[in-house]
Chain A
Amino acid sequence: MKQTDEFSGFHPIVNFIYFALIIGFSMVFMHPVMLFISFVTGITYHSVLKGKKSLLFFMKFCLPLFLLTMIINPAFNHQGTIILLYFPNGNPLTFESMIYGLAAATMLTAVLLWFACFTEVMSSDKFIYLFGKIIPVMSLVLSMTLRFIPLFKKKIDEINDAQKSLKKGAVNESLFSKLKNAISVFSIGVSWALEHSIDVSDSMKARGYGLKGRTAFSIYEFKRRDRDALAIMFLLGLLVIANAVLGNLKWRYFPSIRGKYMGIYQTLTYLAYFVLCLIPTIIDKAEEHRWKSLR
């Protein structure tokens, strides 16, 4: 398994708890500063993981999603005190609904980015390692589902190449025959996928997967750095949760935008959240620095 960054090398439980925390926070907090932090750090970590491909992902999926959400919200939400203009159907376009649209778009994009990082770090073997004992069937199904799309894409490419070598769907053919070929490629792909999933489940059954007393080999070891990372994560997370429970991260969008700065401890919360979101990036960069300095 190719290791993309240092954080991926941590114990799976650390990875999983970290992402559960971050994605949960990103989905719950509508406070603009928190959204911004999660959004920016999401981009940062994704680019650490994927390098130049990250930009492509951002342009292809995140940006359209961002723009779509931003435009759609004011079209259906008419709450707010500052009326800018009226839609043809008579309902108002309000400043607040536009701001809310912007916030919702940021949240959605941030969550998407963090999920992209999650699938990158939490490979299916880690997932099975964590949940194989507790919920064997569910975790196998989940890991198969998560793996399905990339695998299917790869297989389709293979089938395509094979078909091309049979002189089907070649470059100079008409659009109709190209289309016909594409359909047959897809059909082959689907039948392969169905067969493959049955193969996998049979094979897992043959190996006694999920049976009592069955052991599985794993190379994961809970080291001191895992414990330290977990402790820091819990502390920072606790700080953020405590503030949220105490109502310090409240932000009102409707009917008029209202938010208050509650002093130094709110800044501290932002800082804690920022550090929490940056943990994998910091770990990776520190490791890189050490590697270079030791060389």
Chain B
Amino acid sequence: MKRKLLLFFLCILLAFSFTGCKDFEVGVSEQTASYSDRMAIPEDGIVSADVFKDLKETKQVVTFEGESKGIKYEWTVFGSEITEPKDCNLLVTIVKTSDSTYIFNYASKEDFGFTPLLSIYSGDNNEGKVASLVEVRGNESVYLSDVYLTGTNSEILNVSFDSQVGTYIIEISDEEEALKMASADSNENEPANEPANEQKASSNSESKAESKTESKTESKTESKADSEAYEPDEYLSKSTSATSKVNTGGGNSGGASDTPAGRVLSDGSRTEKDQYLTDPVPIGKPQPVEPENQVVNKGKTLSCTFSIDCTTILNNIENLNPDKMDAVPANGIIFPSQTVTFYEGESVFDVLSRICRENNIHIEYEWTAMYNSTYIQGIHNLYEFDCGSGSGWMYKVDGWYPNYGCSRYVLTNGETVEWRYTCDLGADIGGAYAVGE
């Protein structure tokens, strides 16, 4: 009797576990959607609303691949970004008109309603260059946003713009030239918020809307199309930014580029590693300043351009730790390029930690005595090794990735600091030299 009861109990359990398993499989497939991470764009380019609806529900991240006359491109779509699923035409026609200009034309007749990232694999070597997105309106070209360059030769152009209708141009220019001009500009106007000349005024603290519709100078006017709404607090003032990079009209390119007070530039005399294992600094680049010797002068505020991005992750999304998917912004930009102020004598690390704290961006770092600097382990919950074994954070000042830690780089007025996530030891963001051979 008792034995039969037990047998009965076991049978029920067995049945449960089997039917259970079947249902689990269904449950799981519903959970993680049946789409693969990479999909080809169909012939007619139209991806149906059903697909986007599924992506929205499962919050999957999918890359759509396409090709236009030999130029490969891909859309990275975040399911979590989709608001109203509808049919979208993902076809893009890309034409290379000169070495430094790409014209691309969306086949779509209407905006998608969300902002996916468009990555164009240009195939040429853009190392040491910067790019920007420009729209032609009549006779004028209007600056819209920065284009983030990634890839081994910086050949991937990443565009994230909220409109998917019409024709746009990507202009690639020399970074050093652009920076020289930018620094020359900002050197002139010492308290950073004061516009120095007429031209600047358009891009300054006046509203974005104005700069989008109007353009003041005849040829090229820069304006900031800032889609992010960061609240400028007392310390962080949003004003001029890297936009002056595209400035070609300014005639002050030969302007003052003298060394700021207190900065020691490398003359190439050192040939061996210093006590903190730093290789010789290239000629003309600033020597590291040890944090214990830094003197912060709170009486004098300076300004620099600051940005944090992880665009490379979007090109390598299949390597990303799936748990960290939520931490990646859909356009890869964590802190859009903008002017921030700091005290004289502060290092890149000081500025970074303050910006993160003020904007409530997560950051984790660790003091490394061996290199006498702080090591940034993670920003915005994106940590080293989260996107492959060669991934982590690197910083770039005025186009150069310093080969020493961020606590040892003391900033001067008007410099451009970029924090970028690399998935390949710096090679995909043009900074392989900073990590050694």
Chain A residues near B (Cβ < 8 Å)? 78-81, 83, 86, 89-92, 94, 228, 231-232, 235-236, 238-239, 242-243, 246-248, 252, 254-256, 258, 260, 262-263, 265, 268
Take A86-B357, A248-B24, A256-B326 as given contacts and tell me if A81 and B16 are in contact as well, using a CB distance cutoff of 8 Å: no
Closest B residue by C-beta to A231: B10
- The reply to whether A268 and B381 form a contact with Cβ atoms under 8 Å apart is no
Within 8 A of A (CB), among B351-394: 353, 357, 360, 362-365, 367, 378, 381, 383
Chain A residues positioned under 8 Å from B13 (CB to CB) = 235-236, 239
- The reply to whether B14 and A235 form a contact with Cβ atoms under 8 Å apart is yes
Contacts across chains A and B counted by CB atoms under 8 Å: 75
Complex Cα distance, B193 from A188, in Å, reads: 81
19 A-B residue pairs with Cβ-Cβ distance under 8 Å, sorted by A, are A79-B381, A81-B327, A81-B362, A81-B381, A83-B360, A83-B362, A90-B353, A228-B6, A232-B10, A238-B17, A242-B17, A252-B323, A254-B323, A255-B323, A255-B326, A255-B381, A258-B326, A265-B24, A268-B20
Binding site secondary structure of chain B: helix
| Proximity string of chain B (1-39) to chain A, C-beta cutoff 8 Å, 1 when within and 0 when not | 000001000100110110011011101100100000000
Complex Cα distance, B351 from A251, in Å, reads: 36
Across the A-B interface, give the 3 residue pairs with the lowest CB-CB distance, nearest first: A255-B381, A78-B364, A246-B24
B408 → chain A closest CB, angstroms: 17
A7 → chain B closest CB, angstroms: 17
Chain A residues positioned under 8 Å from B96 (CB to CB) = none
Number of interface residues of B (CB under 8 A): 29
Chain A residues positioned under 8 Å from B363 (CB to CB) = 91-92
Take A94-B362, A255-B323, A268-B16 as given contacts and tell me if A243 and B24 are in contact as well, using a CB distance cutoff of 8 Å: yes
- The reply to whether B21 and A254 form a contact with Cβ atoms under 8 Å apart is no
A247 → chain B closest CB, angstroms: 6
- Given A231-B10, A232-B10, A263-B27, 6 other A-B residues pairs in contact with their CB atoms under 8 A: A91-B364, A92-B363, A235-B17, A260-B31, A262-B31, A268-B16
Chain A residues positioned under 8 Å from B270 (CB to CB) = none
- The reply to whether B365 and A80 form a contact with Cβ atoms under 8 Å apart is no
Complex Cα distance, B378 from A94, in Å, reads: 14
- The reply to whether A91 and B365 form a contact with Cβ atoms under 8 Å apart is yes
| Proximity string of chain B (302-330) to chain A, C-beta cutoff 8 Å, 1 when within and 0 when not | 00000000000000000000011011000
Contact residue among B6, B27, B362 (Cβ-Cβ distance under 8 Å from A80): B362
Chain B residues positioned under 8 Å from A263 (CB to CB) = 23, 27
Give the one of B27, B28, B367, B383 with max A CB within 10 A.
B27
B30 → chain A closest CB, angstroms: 10
Contact residue among A81, A232, A242 (Cβ-Cβ distance under 8 Å from B21): A242
Chain A residues positioned under 8 Å from B23 (CB to CB) = 263, 265
Chain A residues positioned under 8 Å from B20 (CB to CB) = 239, 242-243, 265, 268
Complex Cα distance, B362 from A287, in Å, reads: 56
Chain B residues positioned under 8 Å from A83 (CB to CB) = 360, 362
Closest B residue by C-beta to A253: B323
- The reply to whether A247 and B28 form a contact with Cβ atoms under 8 Å apart is yes
Contact residue among B27, B323, B365 (Cβ-Cβ distance under 8 Å from A262): B27
Complex Cα distance, B104 from A23, in Å, reads: 61
Chain B residues positioned under 8 Å from A258 (CB to CB) = 326
